Structure 1
């Protein structure tokens, strides 16, 4: 299934993408794509619905029908740094011996086609396309062999980053990663049965039509089950938490010379089977 949240900012409703690519309203079935409504039981009930009996929503998603972030009420937005060996190299950092964990503030989360705002004082706003994992069943100290049982679905994440805030002065990764609009999420939550092998998906990003990132999740240093198990050692994972799994090479920081967003650009990014995002970059 492809599950979405559609509507105006703050008024989103849950929906499902039918076989014709149209949105069907799920708000009579579940109140939102959040928390307990991401459980395996709920996903099973949604999968058993006759899609044709659900109300049809007017408009074309991502055109004249806005999509919000595909999950709401996110408790933790967990990110993994340097999880592609070639991205670590372009960043001038060693491949980590174990996953590097940091957080984005949940206030960074926006819809997949909402504007990305360059914060005041920024001179080094950058892009990072990433595979997002949405937790459906919570737990701590999760065994890697059982990790995928805790996944509600996958999505596209743009881990927008301000490198000076992140790396210079008193910079920290969370400060450089958590600015408002720095977490476009979606367009949809795709359930694991439809994704198949999440460790073998093409992943890419373009700025104004020029492709800068073009990789595959097969080159991740640490795969999804390991990341879930590892993170759950240090915090309980809860329904609706997101794990953003790292980015392939081609970010602005790694170019020679480096290239950063100034405002007016269009970012377009996607992952096989998970859809495409497109954001206009504007100055705050």
Structure 2
């Protein structure tokens, strides 16, 4: 007998005393387990840091640059602070996203601020041993003839660059008056800004036509049209030079039927053999198509 109870007697596990005993045992196990968990975490971090610090895959072997069209590779390379043989970690950061994705935020900012043709830059470490620089250049959507060459504009009418000669494949807007000398990264100042916006809309329509021309029944109009000139609020002439000399002047109206008119133009330049008819004016503003050859 123990305390008046037979030896086979066991206290109820649901008694207050039993519950306190179990709670005490759980706390003891938790207290004993915490140091081991902390030590394991510290050991894991140390191993990870050691691997990152000493593994050759975390040292830079190559720097690749992509997305360049107008910007010189050397210009971008000169703004990259990292060199081959260096550990990748130096320079990573600039913000939480940059830290988490191993990007070099300060380098990205420097490239974007230094090179006026760059819209955005992404400089990122890629395992193993590579830094990738992805450049997105600004899109030239309109060219304007200025003193000494051409001003290339983006959709916001900002000057991307000044070209001394024609090294681009977009139409040139003729007959517009410039109020002051165009400056890089500044909005161009003209007498009538609506002319620029209307010309951009025509150019965008030409691009839209070419992108939707999947059946290849026509030809690329952006390769053919060299100049634009606005004659009224919605009426434009586009100029297509001929290899034998002269040009075809195409009269277009900027309305809901513009894409249909461009399809007709594309067909006439291709299967319609319009170019072999020589210089003249093609009127696509009415219900019917009319071509008037120039006087010989």
Q: TM-score range by the shorter chain?
A: under 0.3
Report 1 or 2 for greater relative contact order, CA contacts < 8 Å, sequence distance ≥ 6.
Answer: 1
Higher CA-based Rg: 2
Q: Which has a greater percent of helix? A: 2
Return the TM-score normalized by structure 2. Answer: 0.24
